[in-house]
Amino acid sequence: MNPFRTSETRRGSAAELAELIRSSEHVVALTGAGISVPSGIPDFRTPGKGLWAKVDPMAVATMDAFHRDTKRFWDFYRPRFHDLADKEPNPAHQALAELERRGLLDAVITQNIDRLHRKAGSEQVIEVHGSIATASCTSCDATYPLEEVELLFDQEGIATCRGCAGKVKPDVVLFGELLPADAMARAEELCSGADLLLCVGSSLEVYPVAGLPQMTLARGGRIAIVTKSSTPYDSDAVVRLSGDVAEELQAVTAALDG
């Protein structure tokens, strides 16, 4: 498959996707920012609305930016983390958690840092871009839960370690950082063994995660895509749903009950 190929979007229905899930032995979900949009969390790249439409990610979301101007980094992330902490899962998160409870979904691989899959009740969650759940000192590796990070800020607005006074960074993957090796190894293992990879709310454009669907296709598995935006894999999807992700996945679970 040429990952840069474009083609017409395939059609399908929630009932067809439900039957694919029911008939597959190993189903894995791969989720991106779009699954959290119904929870009130903006995605990154939607023109005029996405997070990076309002700020240059190279100025606030790289390790160089963190060390060069730590105050500016936290001025951006601190209110965002406060906001994320109050968000709740939407029916799309809940649908995936329900599929896992029914034994129809092996795991969720997510690019999101917002913890909403875990809040919804999913247990097998692989967070390939890290999580806001913790932050760690860049000098001594001391780790703090999100609820304690607010207590670490000094008068300049920089979070500093209680033990060594080093700079504390959220445990999320910034631009220029490698993805967690263990998480990526597990994600690759799951996708290589999946009969069906359910891609939800992801543009499937950011590597190395964008290469995971190809691993499923290479072993003879199938992919289904549920997202509003086009993706490089649209022509490979056996089912391609482009409505609201919460409504689409609710319809899938309803079809499974039918």
Catalytic: 67?
Answer: no
Give CA–CA dist 133/152, Å, rounded. 15
SS (H, E, C) 99-168: HHHCCCCCEEEECCCCCHHHHHCCCCEEECCEEEEEEEECCCCCEEEHHHHHHHECCCCCEECCCCCCEE
> Are residues 167 and 73 in contact, defined by beta-carbon separation less than 8 angstroms?
no
Distances (CA, A) of 74 to 147, 159, 169: 16, 8, 9
CA-closest candidate to residue 83, choices 47, 39, 122: 39
CB atoms within 10 A of CB 11: 10
Please give the helix or strand (H or E) that residue 230 lies within, else none.
none
Is 221:20 a contact under the CB 8 Å cutoff?
no
Catalytic residue among 26, 82, 93, 129: 129
Residue 8 DSSP code: P
H helices present in the chain, as ranges? 14-23, 57-60, 63-68, 70-85, 91-101, 116-120, 146-149, 181-192, 212-218, 245-257
> What is the gyration radius of the CA atoms in the chain, in angstroms?
19
Distance from C-alpha of 10 to C-alpha of 6, rounded to nearest angstrom = 12
Residues carrying an active site annotation = 129
